[in-house]
Amino acid sequence: MSLENRVVVITGATGGLGQVAAKKFADQGARLTLISTSPQKLRQLAGELALPEDRIMTYAADLGQDAVAQDVLARILAKYGQADILLHLVGGWSGGKPVVEVETEQLNNMLQQHLWTSFYLVQAFLPVMLSRQWGRILAVSSPFASNPVANLAPYAIGKAALEALMLTIAQEVKDTGVTANMLLVKSIDTRHERQQQPTPQNASWTTPEEIYATLLHLCSEEAGQINGARIPLYGNL
């Protein structure tokens, strides 16, 4: 499979999953836009990828505002003329308290990271994909969104809001050539502890490479009929 003519936008690009995705999608020939809040980490990642200038751009910003999503889209279109695949990999976890002790700011932070960044990006990028009659919108969620556990309310609520948004988008893009799907991950095993030091706790963790393999398939032409899916990548909880 080749993504030579596709423009892939990766948010959270300097995180553990984002870095693997950037390298793997670069290997597939994609043209990349890497987004992160850290200019220094973006420069480091771009240096490691060593792609020609016409295949990479970086953008350092917090995606929690509508104007930022619109600005990054404008820059992508100015450089590439298209935006085909949005990998929304911005993460963030908050929990540890029962609901009665959760501070409003804690919940707002989770909604900002998981819902509002997604909402602004989709509002910016989806019209471009629809105009080209092809696109892939992919996000990472959690099994806790639909099966919450005690003392994890802010995170579960943030992911549940993300899922409601993504599932709504999937309904709205039926038969357009654009799809919206989610991967459900309990914990991203960036250090590959599940294989190297297996324990009952890490048995359900997922490596970045495993997540990437599913992302890649969902970006293929063959996956055009997969839309509105919540794909579990956590084994048995």
Fold of 7-182+206-229: Rossmann fold (3.40.50)
Q: Which residues pair with 139 in a beta bridge?
A: 88, 182
Q: How far is CA 101 from CA 95, 109, 180, in A?
A: 10, 15, 35
CA gap 136, 200 in Å, rounded: 35
CA dist 190 and 188 (Å) reads 6
Tally of CB atoms within 10 A around 134: 17
Residue 236 has what pLDDT? 64
What confidence category does residue 5 fall into, taking pLDDT thresholds of 50, 70 and 90?
confident
Q: Per-domain residue ranges for the chain?
A: 7-182+206-229
Question: What share of the chain in percent tops pLDDT 90?
Answer: 94
Residues composing the chain: 237
Q: What integer is the mean pLDDT of 78-98?
A: 93
Pure H helices in 28-93:
39-49, 66-80
pLDDT at position 108 over 80: yes
Q: Given this model, what pLDDT does residue 137 score? A: 98
